[in-house]
Amino acid sequence: MIHFKNKFGATFLATLLCVGAGAGHAATVTYDLNGVVDSGPLLNEMYVGRFTFDDIALTGSGEEFLPVSTLNFDFLGNTFNQNQGSVAPEAAFLDGTFLGLSFNVSTFDPDFAFIAGIDNVSDAYFAYDNGAGSAGLGSLVYTVSAVPEPEIVTLLLFGVALVGYVARGRRKI
C-alpha cells in the first residue's frame, strides 16, 4: 500500500489515474440532422432528427462506415428509428472526414434515403421515391450536438469532490 505524506500527492495520483483511464476511449459522437425537400411533389416538407455512433473503430484512412447506435428522426408526421431501415444505418467517412449518414427505408410510402456525400459532407442529400414516378431530393445539414461524454461528467464530479475533500482537510489543521 502506498502512503502519502500529504493530500497533494494522493490528489495528484488520483487525477492521473482518472485522466489516464479515459484517454484510451474514443468518443460517442452525436449529430443533429435537418433538411427540406427541394424538388418533387413533397416540396418544402421538412425532416429533422439525431443519430449517435462511437468513433473508436475510426482509423482515418480510406472509406470507412461506422455503425450508428441510435437514430431518431421525423418525416411526414412519422417518427423513424435505426430499426426501421432496410439495412443498418452507418456514418460514412473518407480519410477520417465525416461524409454523412447512409440509411434508407423501403417499407414506407414514399421510400426514402439519406445519402452520404462522395468527397464532402456538403454533397450529402435526402432522396425519396413513391414508385409511381413521384420522386424528389432534399438538402441535408449535419451539426455536431454538444452532448457531454459520461467520462467527462464523471471526471468533473470526481474533481469537484476531491477539491472539497482537500479543502475540508485543510480547515481542520
86-101, pLDDT tens digit by residue? 999 999 999 999 999 9
**5 and 56 share one domain:** no
**118 and 164 both lie in a single domain:** no
| pLDDT at residue number 133 | 82
The CA-based diameter of the chain, rounded to the nearest angstrom, is 82
Nearest residue to 169 via CA among 7, 3, 9 = 7
58 and 98 share one domain: yes
Q: Are residues 23 and 90 in the same domain?
A: no
64 shares a domain with 37: yes
Does one domain contain both 139 and 166? no
Strand duo 46-54 + 135-138: pairing: unpaired
- 52 and 72, same domain (yes or no): yes
Report the domain count for the chain. Answer: 2
Q: How confident is the model at residue 23 (pLDDT cuts 50, 70, 90)?
A: very low
* pLDDT band of 63, cuts 50, 70, 90: very high
Phi, psi of 16 (to 5 degrees): -60, -40
> Residues 138-167: pLDDT tens digits?
999 999 987 555 666 676 666 766 666 666
Looking at the structure, tell me whether residues 69 and 124 fall in a common domain. yes
Residues 99 and 130 in one domain: yes
Verify cis geometry, omega within 30 degrees of 0, for the bond prior to 148: no
More confident call, 52 vs 1: 52
Residue 117 has a pLDDT of 97
Do residues 91 and 14 both lie within one domain? no
> Are residues 118 and 36 part of one domain?
yes
What's the pLDDT at 16?
43
Q: Provide the whole-model pTM.
A: 0.72
Please state the rounded mean pLDDT for residues 56-75: 97
Note whether 111 and 104 are within 8 A (CB).
yes
- Please check whether residues 9 and 84 belong to one and the same domain: no
Instruction: Domain of residue 159: give its range.
Output: 1-27+149-173
The predicted pLDDT at position 132 comes to 86
Please give the helix or strand (H or E) that residue 81 lies within, else none.
Answer: strand 78-81
Q: How confident is the model at residue 17 (pLDDT cuts 50, 70, 90)?
A: very low
Question: Cis peptide before 67, with omega less than 30 degrees from 0?
Answer: no
